[in-house]
Amino acid sequence: MAHVPASERRPQLIRAAIDLMTREGVAAGSTRAIAAELGVAQATVHYTFGTKKDLYRAVVEQLMADFIGQVRAASPGDGPFGEQVRTLVHALWTSTVSEPGRCILLSEVETLALRDPELREVIRGLQDETEQIAAGMLSALADAHGQALAVPARDVAVQFLAGFDGLCGRYLVLGPADEQADAEALRALDLLVATTVGLCVSAP
């Protein structure tokens, strides 16, 4: 097999790990299984990721980058502030639940982190980054509309993301293929949007 530079091999291994663990769960993500998924030697995985935590970090970072990238690519349109927030939130929802296996994988890693201090630091760092990005997008949207935020953007982002994560978890438990679950989720999502916009424009 031709030599592949580490700069190319790493993203290949991350994608292989995500594909494998999305199908079979995080526990199935052994270095041997990931190597087999891509058709490389097990030593290649060990060389690329020093520890399993390094691999988990890379997997979670890639998952979050994919979700956020899809939201950033969504156009909020030309409507009023609240309508544009709704457009972006629905884009986030679509990107998140369109591949439920990836949501479950992310939840599995977060659960592991509750009992692993090193892995918890990884998740905490990513959570902080996600909150900052959400706050930045909200602030930029508010500035574009001349809308002064009644509550700091970071506080709104924390509140919104907590509610959004809860809705995602509920949706996955009820069953993504269930039409009633779909309808309930979208109603709840719009209520979350209304609450978030209300928090932005009027102090609690």
Q: Is pLDDT above 90 for 192?
A: yes
Length of the chain counted residue by residue: 204
Task: Work out the end-to-end distance of the chain between its first and last CA atoms, rounded to an integer number of angstroms.
Answer: 62
pLDDT tens column, 92-128: 898 888 888 888 888 888 888 898 888 888 888 888 9
Topology annotation, domain 60-201: Tetracycline Repressor; domain 2 (1.10.357)
Domain ranges of the chain: 1-50, 60-201
* Burial status of residue 72 (CB atoms within 10 A of its CB: 0-12, 13-18, 19 or more): exposed
| CATH of segment(s) 1-50 | 1.10.10
pTM of the shown model: 0.83
Pull the structure tokens for residue 36.
Answer: 């087999």
